[in-house]
Amino acid sequence: MTSKDSWRFLAICMLFFPMTLCFLQDQGRVLLVSFDGFRWDYIYKVPTPNFQYIIKNGVHIKQVTNVFITKTYPNHYTMVTGLYAESHGIVANEMYDPILNETFSMNHMTINNSKFWEDAYPIWIVNQMQGHRSGAAMWPGTDVKIHGLFPTHYMLYNESVSFQERISKLIEWFMSKEPINLGLLYWEQPDEMGHILGPENHRMRAVISDIDNKLGYLVSELKKANLWDTLNIIITSDHGMAQSSRDRIIELDLYVDRSLYRMIDHSPAVAILPEEGKFNEVYRALANAHPHMTVYKKEDIPRRLHYKQSNKIQPILAVADEGWEILQNKSDEFLCNHGYDNLLPEMHPILIAHGPAFAKNITKQAMNSTDLYPLLCHLLGINPLPSNGSLENVKDLLVSSVSEKLQYRAATYQQESYACFIGVFLGSTLVFVFLLVFIRHLIYNQIPVIGTQHAEIARPLLQA
């Protein structure tokens, strides 16, 4: 073998080496879209032809049970990790970590602190660690360096960037010479107007219609780029919205001195951190203070909420009944809200999907938002990290061939993961041995043959 042939052989081996690491999987492309605060029943309040177009040609989940607390950051991180809030660590929009002695707050722009996000690996990192590219347009957490990585392409959060600009960037990334296979898109409405008006206000009709128009624009642009028929697109949200009233306010100042505690997260699920030595006094004062407020010690939070195994969850949690708000007094800012018990239908988001992997005109009664992550990983052809979601719960959303493959992968996942590990180990060992042999071969090809007339040169130097 000549030196040139040797280098060619090495290049081929290195090119195909990644394929020896794990089982080959079909690669798909996914666009995940979140319209913040889009309640599941908004599509029935006004004509929504673009939502109905996707439902007719794709799938529709009637009831998506999201995670407690039903707020923006916890649920957006659940969608991309498959974990309950207590596991992925983003337990609220406002958090305090007693170990770090640091606060996570949208109001004070401390949300980009990487330490708060690193209890989990979001899907864009998992996707990139398995050799692919991701692109994100304002999705919560994507402009944070998590475990040392950003998405391949991302936009720094800026609410003033238009929906059209966000779509344009994502399409550009999907169509580039080194295209992404995963795109994430976030839009702030109808959450913002839902807080101000309330979901039952007649003026919300125009807001919902505008979202439907934006969805129509997205579909139109994907069709222009010839992506519509090849891209798996999922339209969802983080939570719903409840109608509140100034007649339904619980004032903490009527029951406990505010100098005895700190309010970490706000209504309707209030995280309370008592001052040192004041826990019992604060808890006793609030425990039976109001018939529409349930107060828990951290250890007594119902297991079904999956909301106590984190140091960022405070010692006392006060939760209002639907439509009620917990404020320190009536002078505090009042808005319609979300954050209530995740079993309440008013807290549930929408989920519809369309693409080559999805069945057509299929309606499913229910799923958990934790199920979205394993579904995304399957569509992308990547191995998921352990999560609280289930592949089995979503296989009926897929066309039969994809569903069968999904069932096979679910049944063999443990063996596949083990085989992948063995493959990595053996593959790495083989490449290392090959490199040693290859280097030895090159060295011997470059050294002239030593004849018998120079035998003394070949003797050990220390030989007498």
Residues 6+ apart with CB under 8 A from 218: 33, 167
Question: Tokens for 260?
Answer: 């005895």
**Catalytic position from the list 48, 70, 72, 236:** 72
Give the Cα separation of 118 and 251 in Å (integer): 36
Is it true that the peptide bond before 122 is cis, omega within 30 degrees of 0?
no
Give the Cα separation of 283 and 255 in Å (integer): 10
User: What is the sign, positive or negative, of the torsion defined by CA atoms of 45, 51, 57, 58?
Assistant: negative
Assign 325 to helix, strand or coil.
strand
Assign 361 to helix, strand or coil.
coil
Assign 290 to helix, strand or coil.
coil
Give the Cα separation of 219 and 54 in Å (integer): 9
Q: Enter the DSSP assignment of 194.
A: H
Give the Cα separation of 205 and 108 in Å (integer): 32
Give the Cα separation of 162 and 165 in Å (integer): 5
Give the Cα separation of 143 and 60 in Å (integer): 30
β-strands 30-35, 232-236 pairing: parallel
| CA torsion angle 101 102 103 109 (round to 10) | 170
CA count, 13 A, side-chain hemisphere, 451: 1
User: What is the sign, positive or negative, of the torsion defined by CA atoms of 48, 51, 54, 57?
Assistant: negative
3-state secondary structure 37-54: CCECCHHHCCCCHHHHHH
The question of whether 72 is a catalytic residue gets the answer yes
Q: Residues with catalytic annotation?
A: 72
